[in-house]
Each structure stands twice: as C-alpha cells, then as structure tokens.
Structure 1
Amino acid sequence: MHAAQYAEHINILQKRTLDAIQREGIDGLIIHSGQSKHQFLDDNHYPFKVNPQFKAWLPVVDNPNCWLVVNGVNKPKLIFYRPQDFWHWVPDEPSEFWAQHFDIVLLKHANAVEKHLPYDKSKYAYVGEYIEVAKALGFELVNPDRVLHYLHYQRAYKTDYELDCMRQANATAAIAHASARDAFFAHRSEFDINQAYLLGAQQGDNDVPYNNIVALNEHSAILHYMRLDTEVPKQHLSFLIDAGASYHGYAADITRTYSAEDGEFKDIIERVEALTKTCVDKLAPGVSYIDVHRTAYAGIAQILKEIEVLNMNAEDAVESGIVSTFFPHGIGHFLGLQVHDVGGHVADDRGTPFPPPQEHPFLRCTRTIEPRQVFTIEPGLYFIDSLLAELKGSEHSKYVNWNVVDRLRAYGGIRIEDNVIVHKERNENMSREAGI
C-alpha cells in the first residue's frame, strides 16, 4: 500500500466531510465504529461488523467501541479501544501505515469515552447504529440526512487507495475461486467446497464480505443459497459459486458457474459469460446503468431463443416481460466498502430518489456511469421452480418449450459476475485481470 495514496485518500475524505458538515451547519462528525451485540438470551456475541462510515477512514474492521472525531480541517482524532481483557483478543497500539494520520487516544473502558469527545455536542452529529448510546452521550443530531446523503453519493467515486484495496480483494478472491473450482471437479460436497474456498482466501466465514453462495445442481437456482450441504450429491452436474474476499474493509464479489461435463449446459454457460463481457464493454462514462441492464435483459432473451427455451423472438420476449422468469434480478450494483455499496438509487448528492424502472424493480443502481466508479456486472439465467410455475399458469406458457425447461431444471442456473472499475477511456476488469 502506497503511503501517498492513503494520504490523498484522507485528504479527499476531509474535503467531503467539510462539504457535508457545512450543508448541515455543524462543526463536525463523531463516527462510532459500533459495539458487540449479545445474542438473544445468551452471553455470546454476534460477529462484529464495523460501521462502513468508520472503515472508510481507516482499515480497523474488528475493534468495537472506537470513535472518530472529524471536521474536515483538523487532524482526525481516533479514540481507539484497548481494554485490559484476558478473555478476548486485544489489538496492539496502532502503528500501521495509517496511524500517523490520526491523533490517537487509547480508551481503556468503553463507557469512559465521553471525556474524549467534544464537550458541546450540539454542533456535532453522531454517525452510527447505536441511537441509545448517542442519546445517552447527549447528541441531539443523529445520522443527519443532509450529511449522509452527501457522503453516500460521494462514496461512488473511489480514491486510488480504495481502488488498490479492491484490486487486492479481487486477487485474493481469484485464488480462492480456483481452489473451489478444483474442489468441485474433485466431486466434493458444498461444505467441503466452501472450506476449500476459505482456505484459498485465508479468510474465515466472518472475514469474507458476505456469506458465500456455494451451490451444486438445482441449488444454483436459489439466488441467495447459503445452506452448504455436507452430503456429496449422487451426481455433480453444475456448480455456481458467488463468493468474495475482503482487503482493508473493501469487498470483492465474483461469481462463476461450471458444468461437470461438456454439452448443452456448458454451452449455455459460455453464452452467459459472453454476455457478461458484452455488458462490461457497455460500461462507459455518460451511459445510464439502466441501459446496461437492458442490454443484459435483451441478451438473456436472445440466449433463451437460441437454446430453444422460448419459441418467440427475442424482441417480443423482452416486450412481454417473460425474460424476468429466467433473469429475475438486476445486472449488478456499486461495489466498495459494502458489497451492495450505497448511493445507487439517488439522482444527486442531496438524496433525490431515482428508483429503478417499474419493469426492472430489482435493479440496484440507476445512476449515470462516471469514472472512478466500481460496478459488478452479473447477468444470470435460472430455472427457478416457483417462477416457472407462475409462468406455466399464465397466458405466456405457450411460448415456452417445457420439455427443454424440464431437461435443464436439474442444473439450477447460471450467473457470471465480474468487478469492474470504470476509467475515463477504458474499463478495468479486476476479476479477469486477477486470473479467474
């Protein structure tokens, strides 16, 4: 990690913070990393997940009860939780590349933070999840809309530091994907394939940015399948893996689909992969992300016609909406500190809503594409029993070759997902360049 990149990253966050607090007419922000949560009626904790607004500033993702005091002008103040505790891991005093950019105060007791915060909190806003903590500390302004709308909108424009973090995350995920692919072709169970992935990534279930989707055969038709069967199926037909990796709090989010044998399903995978590459090429400054989705939608319609699932032309399939049975989600989303990064459904930095079109309600981004934005591109084609049952009971049933559908049901579905940086004059496909 280049020190100059991180210094510039902090400068950009300082400028964004100053712009945001001036809109709100306040003096600064108090950003809370979060707290550990007890499980209900238990003394164990849920895995800690840090506030994204906190990890935007520094790569501390595993330490609750930390605080940042920022005003866009002065050196940010970090209140770093470091208790005396022989039950749990205690982090070292900060000394990494980022530490020099903060005035650091060590906090021994979480409930003693108030003495390190500004005395007059009326001109500061609390940014975090724990509203009751904010109120107890005397904050009147909590997660103000004007501030968050501005910061969320600006999050779409990644700094050089952030882009490097995401390249690193993709490189880690690519190694892990290769391990999982090899485990599939070795006829392992979903559970074992997931273990191979985590071993390849050298990250645990609580380190990767989301629960891995590791689906064999018909399970590939479940969009967010996370069960992980321990039994090896009688036959390995297909394998869909949607899995990422984390680096300094930034996410990779890659999906690949494999067929156990050459033949019809492998051919369909290759067609969807070609469509993914077409949609990646469609990304360009000035293009609406909605139009990229429409390219994918039309592309899936064409594939369905070519593989004889549909006996109507592609244009009519798009017009009728029948394609949504087989491609029920959006083409992708912003990617960054969060897997589904914020700011996708707004028209400006004041948070003016820009919802998806009525015919594509699950599209997670509607913005015009600009340089330094990072997107996933992930067309899919699935054979989902519940959606197929609805289609079979509709007036459009006659346009479906049900014998072909029934032949393909056992394979579940296909999704191919790449992570792409949009530059002024080119696109950088981080996933492909990482070798997966």
Structure 2
Amino acid sequence: MDRSNKNDKPVRNEEKAPVRRRRSSSVSGKSSRHNAVIAGKRKKRHGKNSSFRYFLGTYTALWAVLTVVLCVVLWKNLSNYQRDYDAAKAAGAPELAMQENMELFTADKIGDVIDTQQLDISSRFETIEQYKDFYKGYLQNKNVRYIKNDELYNDARPVYNVMAFDSEAADTDEGELLAIVSLKAAGEKDSFGFNKWEIKDIAISENIYDYHEVYVRVMDDMDVYINGIKLDEREYITGGVIDNAVSDMAYELTGVSFNYKVYYAGELVQEPQVSVIDAQGNDVTADYADAGNGLKDYETTASPEFIAGVQDMVQSFCETYVYHIYRKASVDSVAVMMEDGSEAERLLYNAQSTLAWAWVPETVEILEESYDEFMYYNESYFSCRSTINIRKADSKTTEDEEFVCQWLFKKVNGQWLVTYFVLG
C-alpha cells in the first residue's frame, strides 16, 4: 500500500544505535585527548611565557640600573670636564695676567718698570733717576686699575689701559692714563686650547708730566747750570747788545756796552736746580727780574757787594721822588739828589710842569717796591731799574698805579747822583 517506501531499505535500530554510540565514544575520547593536548600545550606555553617575562623584567632592570650608572658616570665626567674647562679658561684669561701684574704700577714698584722699559729721556739735564722719582711721587696718593683698550684690543694681542685715580676720587672719575699694557701668549696651549698670558710691552704715558723749563737772559760773561750741567749753544736761542735809552746814554758817557744771551731748556719732569754764576764767580741765582712769559732776567754786571752798598741810597731817592712828584710838593729836595745841570734835572722840572693840572691826592702810599737790573759800567757810573706800586687817595677817590723807571747814577765828589732817567 505504501509505494513510496517500498524501495527503501529498512534500518534496524539495533544497528544504528551502536554506531552512534561508537561514534560518540570515539569522538568523546578524541575530544578528551585533544583537550589534554591543548591543556598541555597551554601549560607549556604558560611556562615559557613566565620564563620570558622573568627574563625580560630582569633584563630591563639591569639595563635601567646600567643606564643610571652610566648617566651618573657621564654626569660626573661632564661635571669634571666642565670644571676643568672653566679652570683652564679662567687661567687662560688675559684679565688674570693683568690682575697679577697690577702691583707693578704702584709707588714701590714703578721704578722697576721704568728700569725695564728704558724710557726716552727728553732732556740732557736729567737721568732715569729723575723720572723714577717723578713717577714714585705721582703714584704716592693714587689708586690704579685697568680697563680694556677697545681701540687696540684683539684676541691675539690683548691690550689694556692702566688708569690712575686720586685716592679720594669719585667712582665716576675717568682717571688719568698711566700706561698702555699689551700681552702675549706664554708657553704652549693646554688640552682645552687655552694658554696663559704675560706682559709683552708697557708704554708709560708722558701726558701726566708737569713739565718744567729754564728760560733765562744773562750777561755774556755769566754761566748757567742746570742740575750741575752747563748750558751751551744747544740751549742758546738769541743774544746781542743791551740796547735801551739808559744803556745808550751810558755808552755815550763811558764807551762801555754789554752783551746778553738767552737760554732755554724745557721738558724737565722734575723742578731743576738752576745756578747762575757771574764773571766774578758769585752765585746770583736769586737776583733776577721777572721779564714775563717765564723769562728770568739776570741783566746785571754789578757784584752783590756793590748792589748792597748802593741799594739803600737808590731806594731813598726813588721814594722821595714818588712822594714829591705825585703830591706836587717842592722838587728841590729831589733836585739836590741829581747832578747839577744834568739831563735828569731838566727832566725833573719838565715832569713837574706836565703834572701841573693833574689830580693831587691827599695821600700817596707805597705798597710794594723792587730794584733790579744793576749795571756797573765803571767806578763812576751805574744804572738800575725801580718798580714801585703806589696807592693815591683822597676823601672821594682811590687809585693804584705802578711806577717804573730806569736810573743812571754818576759819582760826583764821592756822592752818587742821578744824571739821567727814563720813565716806563
């Protein structure tokens, strides 16, 4: 009846079931073995992983420790290198050489510098000792410090200015240039490429000199000495015959004339010792007239003894002349001190008439007076110059005036009388 299944083979349950069970048992066994294998592999893999992680951790820790050690060693080495570098750099700084040598520019040591440098002595009347004394005195109350010379400085040749300051000067004081110091490399370079420095040259400044000079006019037969050395044609600048109104008159009366010469010596760093000796061997150094512009005038041929013998007489005459002429008093007391009938007497009365309309002060006071240029022509004639500062005054007016006159004296009957004079 059932056609659809007639060709189908019957399947017995008893045959199918065992097959299933066998398959199930086989699969289960295989699965168990498989799981066991996997578990073993996992156990082995886990063991290997643990060993690797342990190794990696140890390795990393060792590297970390080693890195720290290396960093510490490197830092220490770098620190030592930097310290040594800085020390070498400091030791090789040119400023250090300057600091170490600044004691050379003190009063106690500057003489050694001058000896070493052999300064150019500008005057034949001085030696190196005068220069040493000058700088020693100059630095006695000075402080010194160095500054870079920006104009001359370079890395191959450092140059510094040494400046001198008053010990009490303000910090803003620029000071005075004492010396220019140049340095040079000393020895081989060290491992860092630095070298030490030493002084190559010292140029002492000449701008601090307060130069002194000797400027004199003397008679032709006089000798002049500076620091014991006699002046000669090297210091001679001019000369000639003394030529003025009084000397001309004296020449007419005596036939005597005098020659003079002028010497100049400059650029002396120390105040010089000057000696002027006349023809008789007398030291007349202090007996000079100030001729202006620093010129000391020794125009005199009279001996100190002669001058001392006539000076009071000359002073008395000049004071009498001043008092009487300026107050328009009687000139007779002045005329008796002049040669009778001389040119001087004539000039006296002319001067009195010229001043007839001039202001007559109530008082005439002599403030200061000097007498110089004594010229001894012979036993009968001499001349001199008077310079008198006076003050004239009355109740309303006060005036100061300088009275200058040259006088020619003549011995008449054993008495010195004025025979000629020139005002001014």
On whether the aligned pair clears a TM of 0.5, the verdict is no
Higher relative contact order (CA 8 A, sep 6+): 1
Structure having the higher strand fraction is 2
Q: Which has the larger radius of gyration?
A: 2
TM-score (norm 2): 0.24
